[in-house]
Amino acid sequence: MQQRKLGKSDISVAPLAFGGNVFGWSIDEKTSFSILDGFVDAGLNLIDTADVYSRWVPGNQGGESETIIGKWLAQGGRRDKVVIATKVGKDMGDGKVGLKKAYIQRAVEDSLRRLQTDYIDLYQSHDDDKSTPFEETLEAYGALIKAGKVRLIGASNYDVKRLAEAREVGEKLGLPLYQTLQPEYSLIERGAFERELEPYCLQHGVGVIGFYSLASGFLSGKYRSEADLGKSAARGARVKGYLNERGLKILAALDTVAQRQSSTPAAVALAWLIARPSVTAPIASATSLQQLEALVAATQLTLTPADVALLDEASAY
């Protein structure tokens, strides 16, 4: 399995990340364990989660995903085989939100406890907190890195202006720099990332681990008409917006390439992302071992120039 560096760090990851938002939401602990085992057995190692996953589920408090990963790690022999990425900053209730120093210091301890580990490989600002100076946030991360509790930091949902400002503050004050960015990025959601963020990330060596890589399952080909939206109550409303001329054109291109490659639309959509020079590892989730196999297949798929050109043209924005 090929390895890529996270930003300019010395941490290497395989070119596909597993999205841990499904743990404690759409799959239970036992299924989560089997998928994590399968993920690592396939030679993959980057697991992405967040403290807030999956607070949106009735009865959940947040932290369910980290807790399941922690129990899996506690079985032993796994910690050095994986790169754990988690996030801080989204609203956890009771005033637990944002990127102020005091809250980061509290939140990281909660995440470490749930994950049952002494350190987090990649700790990410889940949302831009414009009410907190970059200096305060980066100083907090610097203290965690110095203490050995965090190895490097990343940002999620930042626009290019704020990402650049954070870098300027970090360079000026000798504080940690964001080594990675998590933007929304897929064949169907290209423009927002490619216009400004992609050139910036390439210029400054910022690793990209994009989310919604399969556009909530739309790029798997599962949803092709409004009649298909009932297959997922959670995703139906979002996917409905993709059922237009451009979306169907993208699905047709994915079908063509999948047939050429003896593969699947999902694997092709991920392989297109993996082939982008700016992308370190797209994030994708699976709720069964069968789905996981389709994701892993993307890392073994080499698209031809003709394949890429067809997908680029179909998804042009």
pLDDT of the residue at 236: 67
Out of 53, 103, 185, 242, pick the active-site residue. 53
pLDDT of the residue at 90: 95
138, 173 in Cβ contact below 8 A?
Answer: yes
CA distance 263 to 259: 6
21, 53 in Cβ contact below 8 A?
Answer: yes
pLDDT of the residue at 233: 58
pLDDT of the residue at 234: 61
Q: What is the pLDDT along the chain (317 residues), one digit of tens a residue?
A: 889 999 999 999 999 999 999 999 999 999 999 999 999 999 999 999 999 999 999 999 999 999 999 999 999 889 999 999 999 999 999 999 999 999 999 999 999 999 999 999 999 999 999 999 999 999 999 999 999 999 999 999 999 999 999 999 999 999 999 999 999 999 999 999 999 999 999 999 999 999 999 998 999 998 887 777 777 656 667 788 899 999 999 999 999 999 999 999 999 999 999 999 999 999 999 999 999 998 999 999 999 999 999 999 999 99
Residues 6+ apart with CB under 8 A from 15: 1, 2, 4, 274, 279, 280, 281, 299
Nearest to 257 by CA among 310, 312, 210: 310
3-state SS assignment for residue 289: helix
154, 180 in Cβ contact below 8 A?
Answer: yes
Whether residue 53 lies in the annotated active site: yes
Residues 6+ apart with CB under 8 A from 157: 126, 127, 128, 182, 183
